[in-house]
Amino acid sequence: MVEVNFYFQVHQPYRVRDFRVFEIGKNIDSLNQNNKTAKINKKIGKKFSSSRSSLVRYLLDKAPTKLMSRLFIPFFQAHPKLKEFVKKHYLNFYFQVHQPYRMRDYRAFDIGKNHGYFDEKKNAEIIKKVSKKCYLPMNALLMSLLEKYPEFKVTFSFSGVFLDQLEQYAPHTLESFKKLVKHKNVEILGETYYHSLAYLYSIEEFVEQVKLHTKKIKEVFGKEPKVFRNTELIYDNNLAKVAQKLGFKAVITEGADHILGWRSPNYVYYAKDSKMPLLLKNYRLSDDIAFRFSNRAWKEWPLTVDKYVSWINQIDGVILNLFMDYETFGEHQWKDTGIFDFMKHLPKKLLEEGHGFITPSEAVEKFEPVGEVDVPHLISWADIERDISAWRSNAMQDSALEKIYSIEKDVKELGDKSLLEDWRKLQTSDHFYYMCTKYFSDGDVHKYFNPYESPYEAFIFFMNIFQDLKERINALKREKAIQELEPEEMLDKDKSDKKSDKKITKKVKRSKSKRGTKKIKSKVKV
């Protein structure tokens, strides 16, 4: 491979004016003919700005780094018409929107009697509560920002189970999302329908859920996802290959320090082996909003727009990927923390500082990858480890996950829609997150999101439900076996059953008669 090094000499001299003899010793401050120099620079700038297909224009738009832009910044600042070519950074705002079907308190005595595994009342209450605190006010705010600033752009990832719950419990909230997503500057990502960990256990199930999700997004919003994000941003090299085969043009994951090393997450990279473009989350600047915004113990509290933008001004790179839960606004960070006001004024300040906005699909079209990212082991966006230990760090989680995926073949072969739906709802990553016992640096986070009194309670309810699921499977298998018997086999079975019944009846009669005889003999003896 040949590497090309472009070098451009950019220079304009300060031109000497017509300096006369009689001025010697009298006018030492006017050696330069500033008017002429300014005219020449403006002339060059005009020609340069009109040449939109020029090599420099191409480099500014397509070069993998901002090197060219940085070289030309002083020159561009002297010519307002050229400022449009220079953006300090492009911000990629992505919000994850998800709510699980929470399990009810499923006791041992419910097994075999009650197949209602999920707390419908609690799920409805939570969706309505979060809609009021977060979804509706934040949707309205983003819509106003999109209308006010034509350059502003955002991206969403909706889990299928979240959309199902909106349809069930809060259709007005769903309409609000539809109105927002309809805007041309809003993109939707692809993911698993049930927000599941299927990728870790069954590629077949994983692919089915991704396809179901794409279908759902098309039906609800009329848009097709082009970029993929796996549940919890779980990723390794192989995921990029699978996503590529499914037709996606890029993958979003975590910019974990242990995979990047000295490199910055603020560039487009590509996956090892597949060359799939990767967009990496800047977790520090994302978590400043998502987790630290209202933390009064944080040395940077309070976080203001000016302070935050000053940090962005200092980062290296071309694209800043800010990924967070949508519930950050109003639910995790309450309204009285000032989170809505912060978001309201952030776009204006960013634009004033020369920054721009971009969606994931636009980012991979605009910027070429700067290098390869090798991820041989699974990573995620959870906890300080950025691995999958939030869902697989103890025996309870391992057992629950292995059990639920062990029945995949039986569930799918039986073809019972209700059974399949319940099984898939039980795959949602939240159920296993609730079983986490990592109460160290991230303990408070796990406690906050856990609706149960303890991880052990979450495990017990889950395993009770699994046991009932197994009994349903066995009952359906027996029913299916009977239905598959031929009429002659059924007749033979009935005859054999009758014969066995007659034999049992005779044995019972003989045993009764013998007992009766013994009783008579015993009486006579007495």
Active site residues: 232
Residue 397 DSSP label: H
* 473 neighbors 407 (Cβ within 8 angstroms): yes
Output the CA torsion sign for 245, 253, 280, 144: positive
Half-sphere exposure of 128 toward its Cβ, with a 13 Å CA cutoff?
8
Candidates 416, 442, 524; CA nearest to 115 is: 416
What residues contact 373, with CB distance under 8 A and at least 6 apart?
259, 260, 269, 270, 271, 272, 278, 280
Q: Which two tokens stand for residue 230?
A: 């796996």
Cis amide linkage into residue 225, ω under 30° from 0: no
Report the alpha-carbon distance of residue 156 to residue 329 in Å, rounded.
14
Report the alpha-carbon distance of residue 103 to residue 430 in Å, rounded.
10
Candidates 251, 277, 382; CA nearest to 325 is: 382
Report the alpha-carbon distance of residue 387 to residue 281 in Å, rounded.
14
Measure CA of the first residue to CA of the last residue in the chain; give whole Å.
Answer: 112
CA distances to 513, 515, 516 from 520, rounded to whole Å, are 11, 9, 6
Instruction: Name the E strands within 468-511.
Output: none
CA distances to 58, 181, 307, 320 from 314, rounded to whole Å, are 25, 32, 11, 12
Burial class (CB in 10 A: 0-12, 13-18, 19+), 319: buried
Q: What is the DSSP string of 281-306?
A: E-HHHHHHHHTSTT-TTSTT-S--HH
Burial class (CB in 10 A: 0-12, 13-18, 19+), 293: buried
Candidates 388, 396, 390; CA nearest to 462 is: 396
Half-sphere exposure of 419 toward its Cβ, with a 13 Å CA cutoff?
22
Cα 97 from chain centroid?
8
The runs of H, that is alpha helices, within 170-318 are 171-181, 203-221, 237-245, 257-260, 283-290, 305-314
What residues contact 368, with CB distance under 8 A and at least 6 apart?
62, 63, 64, 268
